[in-house]
């Protein structure tokens, strides 16, 4: 039985500070898709929020390390209620041309992409898409909400407090509230370690807060887990709804970075060592994998997520959920695809599983019996 050929859109770029990371992730996703099975449409979102139709003729070829958004690309609009209908402006002699998408892969990181906004638009358009829906995306993007939901479900988190410009406290008050003079300050709604700083003095704290508030109106202050091992787990939901966890990986940032910062991830080729699989006892690894699946379910995630942990070697059982990424990086150095490769799943097979989940979920929710 032949498999129907489908039109798959890769949505990339976006308005967040993770725009460049998205372009790198999207290039990797493009290379992983089987051109014999899919007609691939590339739709880039520029920093002003315009949706642009891109293709291999304007620099977005499969061999590139990142996809690009040409200024002269035609603008497109997704039509609500159309089942994947897209209007292309200036794409034909009469100024309009239409496309129909069978499934969308929103390779977007951060606000206005990974936070439920685009997911809501795709649901309104009634087109299948890869990854979590509105609730799971929004709950996982906002670290304050994430931690509250995990804490209320009895899952272990690092002690934290939340500040806004109106509720901002000074270093002394934050240190006393969290029981530590060693703190991390981060935007509540951001990824890729954008806007994250360490603070061990009043001066560093003020600078860290100013930096974080440039990226978000809500900021988290967390107690540092000094010397913690950073363990990551990839979670995948298949078309039947079964959720499984990958082998575990460990991040070892270079000493010069101090923690797994944006520079360590993306600008310094030797910024961190990725160890797959992580060197853990079997019982400990199984506990982490179970906790990753529990986290995925508590937050209402779907399709895929990467769950990050802190493991405190100084404390027996010192294990904490750090954060959750509902569309983790897919770059050449990203942990999510590497973890599944270690679990015997190639990037091509991984994308097949994610697309199958998107199509099956859409059918369950929008089939004839649900209309």
Q: What is the dihedral of CA 240, 154, 251, 198, to 10 degrees?
A: 140
Burial 167-179 (b: 16+ CB within 10 A, else e): eeeebeebbeebe
Whether the predicted pLDDT of 12 surpasses 80: yes
Give me the chain's average pLDDT, please: 88
Mean pLDDT of 235-245: 97
Lowest mean pLDDT among 168-177, 211-220, 251-260: 251-260
Sheet with 96-100, side-by-side order of all strands: 76-78, 85-89, 96-100
> What domains appear along the chain, each with residue ranges and CATH number?
6-129 (3.40.50.20), 140-156+226-361 (3.30.470.20), 160-223 (3.30.1490.20)
Q: How many C-beta neighbours within 10 Å does residue 194 have?
A: 22
According to the model, what pLDDT value does residue 154 have? 97
pLDDT band at 263 (very low <50, low <70, confident <90, very high): low
The lowest-confidence range among 12-16, 22-26, 52-56, 175-179 is 52-56
Q: Rounded distance, CA 169 to CA 194, Å?
A: 22
Query: Residue 268: its pLDDT value, please?
Result: 46
> What per-residue confidence (pLDDT) applies to 257?
43
User: Average pLDDT of 308-321?
Assistant: 85
Q: Which residue is listed with tokens 């206005």?
A: 112
Range scoring the smallest mean pLDDT among 82-91, 96-105, 233-242, 252-261: 252-261
Question: How far is residue 9's CA from residue 17's CA, in Å, rounded to a whole number?
Answer: 22
- Mean pLDDT (whole number) for 334-363: 96
Question: Model pTM?
Answer: 0.89
Better-scored residue on pLDDT, 338 or 82: 338
Long-range interactions of 63-70: CB distance < 8 A, separation 24+: 64/27, 65/24, 65/27, 65/332, 66/20, 66/23, 66/24, 66/26, 66/27, 67/10, 67/12, 67/13, 67/23, 67/26, 67/27, 67/30, 67/42, 68/23, 68/44, 69/13, 69/23, 69/44, 69/45
The single-letter DSSP state of residue 57 is G
Nearest to 52 by CA among 61, 63, 41, 39: 41
183-192, 259-268, 296-305 — which one is most confidently predicted on average?
296-305
pLDDT at 56 over 60: no
What 3-state class would DSSP assign to 50? coil
Q: Can you give the pLDDT at residue 81?
A: 87
* Whether 257 contacts 336, CB under 8 Å: no
Report in angstroms the alpha-carbon separations of 34 from 37, 212, 236, 326, 356: 6, 40, 20, 23, 14
- What is the spatial distance between Cα 296 and Cα 321, in angstroms, rounded to a whole number? 11
User: How far is the C-alpha of 232 from the C-alpha of 118, rounded, in Å?
Assistant: 26
65, pLDDT greater than 70: yes
Contact by Cβ (8 Å): 257, 271: yes
Confidence tier at 4 by pLDDT (50, 70, 90): confident
Q: Which of 74-78, 93-97, 216-220, 321-325 has the lowest mean pLDDT?
A: 93-97
Count of beta carbons in the 10 Å neighbourhood of residue 316? 7
162 with 144: CB under 8 angstroms?
A: yes
Stretch 125-135: mean pLDDT, rounded? 97
Residue 25 contacts residue 107 (beta carbons within 8 Å): yes
């Amino acid at each position: 039985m032949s498999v129907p050929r489908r039109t798959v859109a890769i949505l990339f770029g976006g308005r967040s500070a993770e725009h460049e990371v998205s372009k790198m992730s999207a290039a990797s996703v493009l290379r992983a898709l089987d051109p014999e099975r899919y007609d691939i449409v590339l739709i880039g979102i520029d920093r002003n929020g315009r949706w642009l139709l891109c293709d291999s003729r304007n620099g977005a070829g499969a061999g590139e390390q990142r996809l690009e958004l040409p200024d002269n690309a035609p603008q497109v609009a997704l039509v609500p209620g159309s089942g994947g209908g897209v209007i292309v402006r200036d794409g034909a002699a009469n100024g309009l041309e239409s496309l129909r998408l069978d499934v969308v892969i929103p390779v977007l990181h951060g606000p206005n992409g990974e936070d439920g906004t685009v997911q809501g638009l795709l649901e309104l358009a009634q087109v299948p898409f890869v990854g979590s829906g509105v609730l799971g995306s929004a709950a996982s993007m906002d670290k304050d909400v994430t931690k509250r939901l995990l804490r209320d479900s009895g899952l272990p988190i690092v002690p934290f407090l939340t500040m806004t410009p109106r509720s901002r406290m000074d270093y002394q008050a934050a240190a006393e509230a969290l029981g530590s003079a060693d703190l991390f300050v981060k935007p509540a709604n951001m990824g890729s370690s954008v806007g994250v700083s360490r603070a061990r003095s009043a001066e560093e704290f003020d600078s860290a807060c100013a930096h974080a508030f440039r990226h978000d109106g809500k900021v988290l202050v967390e107690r540092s887990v000094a010397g913690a091992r950073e363990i990551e787990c990839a979670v995948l939901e298949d078309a039947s709804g079964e959720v499984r966890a990958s082998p575990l990986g460990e991040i070892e940032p270079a000493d010069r970075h101090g923690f797994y910062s944006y520079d360590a991830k993306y600008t310094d080729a030797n910024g961190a060592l990725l160890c797959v699989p992580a060197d853990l006892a079997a019982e400990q690894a199984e506990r982490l994998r179970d906790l990753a699946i529990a986290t995925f379910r508590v937050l209402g995630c779907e399709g895929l997520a990467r769950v990050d942990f802190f493991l405190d070697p100084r404390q027996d059982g010192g294990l904490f959920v750090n954060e959750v990424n509902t569309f983790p990086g897919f770059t050449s150095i990203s942990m999510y695809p590497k973890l599944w490769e270690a679990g015997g799943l190639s990037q091509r097979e991984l994308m097949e599983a994610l697309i199958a989940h998107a199509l099956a979920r859409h059918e369950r929710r929008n089939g004839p019996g649900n209309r």
